[in-house]
Amino acid sequence: MNRRKLLLLLGGAMAAARALRAQQRAMPVIGWLSGTSAGASEPYLAAFRQGLSEAGWVEGQNVIREYRWAEGHYDRLPALAADLVGRKVDLIVAGGTTAVLAAKSATSTIPIVFNAADPVEFGLVASLARPGGNLTGVSMMNAELMAKRVELLSELVPHARVIALLVNPDNPGAERMMREVPEAARAKGAQLQILKAGTESEIDAAFATLVQLHAGALVVQADPLFGRRREQLAELASRHAIPAIYDWREFVAVGGLISYGPSRSVAIRQLGIYVGKILNGAKPADLPVQQPTTFELVVNLNTAKALGLTVPPSILARADEVIE
């Protein structure tokens, strides 16, 4: 091949590459901001893509997504949010209250679609029916469900006189949890002990403290760090023989005892639907914040047996899923 033909070939390849990059950038870009990790979120990404496709958007075909993961280090979220804003993404999806607060601080113009706890209390929206501003999404009702989790745990472990609550102090929802759960424990005749863990090593230390407190049961706060470390939490609960209740079924799938909470896949699918609507021209201010309508009670009978527990028929009858 002579030099002229080679230059023409290289020039054509460079032009094609530039055209491809221009085409990609012409697609809307979704910024994905999360306090957890890619691995922990993988089960839910398909649900998001499903919701997105229902509004006519297919990732890689007419929309692209940029991911920013804090890997449980919440102090990284403001910089990650600012990076997405600096890249001029068309929309931000924020998972978890801490991520939403970081995104809200970074922009007042780019639409933000969230799943978070207590969006009105944290000033994310004016109201669930009329969000106002540039944010909307799904309220996960984490605090509202804590009393129900204590009730289920007391039903499963009626002899527990000391119940522990594990919270991440870096999660803005921890304060409300620490206010509301003691009352629920007292209603069941139990004393509540609060343990805090903001890192993987502090989770280990918290379980050592549980043993010293002679805690008979454990309630785990809904938190991205704990979700990312669900295998660690399930293993520690098993090793220390602590019956524990969690928010999502994914904890029970890896050996946790019991979970009760909204279907996370359904919620994430709703985020995809809202993102699609906004890309089609809807305004976040006009899309009411959704609340879960599907709740899942999941029990692991193998774990119950290993803990020497008999799951009451009343719980089995209500369970949406029983893992054997």
Secondary structure percentages of the chain, helix, strand, coil, to 5 = 50, 20, 30
CA proximity to 301, closest of 311, 291, 293, 292: 311
On whether both 18 and 60 belong to a single domain, the answer is yes
Q: Are residues 46 and 136 in the same domain?
A: yes
- DSSP notation for 84-106: HHHTT-SEEEEESHHHHHHHHHH
The answer to whether 242 touches 217, Cβ cutoff 8 Å, is yes
Residues 132 and 147 in one domain: no
C-alpha angle 140-104-275 in degrees, rounded to nearest 5: 60
What's residue 22's pLDDT?
46
Distance CA 295, CA 216 (A): 26
Residues 173 and 319 in one domain: yes
Identify the domain containing residue 109 by its residue range: 3-141+264-286
| Nearest CA-CA partner of 234 in 137, 166, 314, 162 | 166
**287: which residues sit within 8 A by CB, 6+ positions away?**
131, 136, 274, 277, 278
Q: Residue 8's pLDDT is what?
A: 52
| Statement to judge: residues 179 and 132 lie in one domain | no
| Per-residue pLDDT at 177 | 85
Helices and strands (H, E) in the chain, number of each type? 13, 12
Residue 244 belongs to domain with CATH number: 3.40.50.2300
For the chain, the straight-line distance linking the first and the last C-alpha, in angstroms and rounded, comes to 67
pLDDT (0 to 100) of residue 182: 86
* Average pLDDT of adjacent 10-residue blocks, the chain of 324 residues: 53 53 70 87 87 94 95 93 97 94 97 92 92 94 85 93 94 85 88 93 94 93 89 96 94 96 91 97 96 92 96 95 94
The verdict on 23 and 135 lying in the same domain is: yes
Both 96 and 190 in a single domain? no
Q: Helix or strand or coil: residue 259?
A: strand
Predicted local distance difference test score (pLDDT) of residue 25: 52
Question: In whole angstroms, how far apart are CA 13 and each of 7, 22, 26, 152, 180?
Answer: 10, 14, 20, 63, 63
Same domain, 119 and 174: no
* Cα distance between residue 242 and residue 323, in whole Å: 18
Cα–Cα distance for residue pair 314/148, rounded to 1 Å: 14
Quote the tokens at residue 264: 């996370």
Q: What is the DSSP letter of 147?
A: H
Total count of domains within the chain: 2
User: Beta strand pairing status for 217-220 and 191-196?
Assistant: unpaired
Same domain membership, residue 197 and residue 258: yes
CA distance 162 to 213: 8
